[in-house]
Amino acid sequence: MLKHLDLTEMNKIKAYIALTKPRVIELLLITTVPTMILANRGIPNLWLVLATLVGGALSAGSANAFNCYIDADIDQIMGRTKGRPLVTGELSKREAFVFSWVIGLASIVWLWVFTTPLAALLSLAAILFYVFVYTLLLKRRTPQNIVWGGAAGAMPVAIGWAAVTGTVAPAAWILFLVIFLWTPPHYWPLSMRYKEDYANAGVPMLPVVRNSTTVAIQIILYAWALVAASLLLIPVANMGWIYTVVSVAGGAWFLLEAYRLYRQGIAGEVKNPMRLFHGANTYLTLLFVVIAIDPLIHI
């Protein structure tokens, strides 16, 4: 009986964790630590880093859990999301709703107490924007949903900077812009791959309501804007040679990958859109790794 209870409890815990979309949180946290190093121009207090990561994870987890609660009907239709806890019945909607509120409020209090009030307020803004603007207002109404939804995903860099300095400097807003512009060429290839799922669920992602040529053009435009924003960080944040070299080389590689999809898109046959999706993840990770390394060398 005890073993059965323990197994049941473990399954419940795993379901709550799944509700927060851990892989999304992981990507958000990858951008937070380098931002804090850049803001401090060196390694910040490790307790502050840990406190910011815990608060950021709770904040992002709350936004994602609210998203799962609101979009349970969509998740039930889409093959990619049929394994989520509210679809499988591992959690009830009431459990998900309460959990979303609890960790969301906990994130605000935690960041306020252990980092800075500004970081806490930015975290609150990110949750509210993701839930009310992206999930409730835009997602089911416009193909520009993921564009503006990217603002919530870009907020961790502002939170990280505010946790270190109590302010949000121009360099932080450049980093915000980088992630904001990265989101469309990262997510639209994914929605091309799962186009039928989104269509069946009635979600007007750009590849659902526009042809592949239009999507490819939009992706390449955002890719160019993204690379330009990454280079803008060099003068604004006084970045050194290592960031300059990697951002130029990495940007060129990312543009080549985007043009590969672009050529397929204008030909009307995109064979492997997930290549750019995974490439975008690699590009952003590489960029933020050197954002962390550069200040440590360029002192």
Is 6 domain-assigned? yes
174-218 pLDDT tens trace = 999 999 999 999 999 999 999 999 999 899 999 999 999 999 999
Longest C-alpha distance within the chain, in Å?
Answer: 64
User: Do 49 and 176 have their domain in common?
Assistant: no
Rounded CA gap, 249 and 22, in Å? 30
- The larger pLDDT score, comparing residue 288 to residue 299, is at 288
Residue 37 lies in a domain: yes
Scanning the structure block, which residue is given the tokens 């550069």? 294
In a domain, 150, yes or no: no
pLDDT averaged over the chain?
93
The domain of 177 spans: 169-299
112 within some domain: yes
- What is the token pair recorded at 93? 């909607």
List pLDDT tens digits, range 34-66.
Answer: 999 999 999 999 999 999 999 999 999 999 999
Q: Please state the domain count of the chain.
A: 2
Do 179 and 154 contact (CB within 8 A), yes or no? yes
- 126 and 214 inside one domain: no
pLDDT digits (tens, 9 = 90+) for 161-173: 999 999 999 999 9
Task: Using pLDDT thresholds of 50, 70 and 90, give the confidence band for residue 1.
Answer: very low
User: For the segment 85-126, what is each residue's pLDDT rounded down to a tens digit?
Assistant: 999 999 999 999 999 999 999 999 999 999 999 999 999 999
Position 149 in a domain? no
Question: Which pLDDT band holds residue 134 (cuts at 50, 70, 90)?
Answer: very high
- Does the residue 251 lie in any domain? yes
Q: What's the pLDDT band for 298 if we cut at 50, 70, 90? A: low
Contact 55, 29 (CB under 8 A): no
What is the domain-level CATH number for residue 269?
1.20.120.1780
Within this chain, do residues 133 and 9 fall inside the same structural domain, yes or no?
A: yes
pLDDT at residue 299, as a whole number = 55
Q: Is residue 164 part of a domain?
A: no
Residue 267 is predicted with a pLDDT of 84
Query: With 50 as the cut, is the pLDDT of residue 74 above it?
Result: yes
Do residue 114 and residue 63 come from a single domain? yes
- Report if residue 133 sits inside a domain: yes
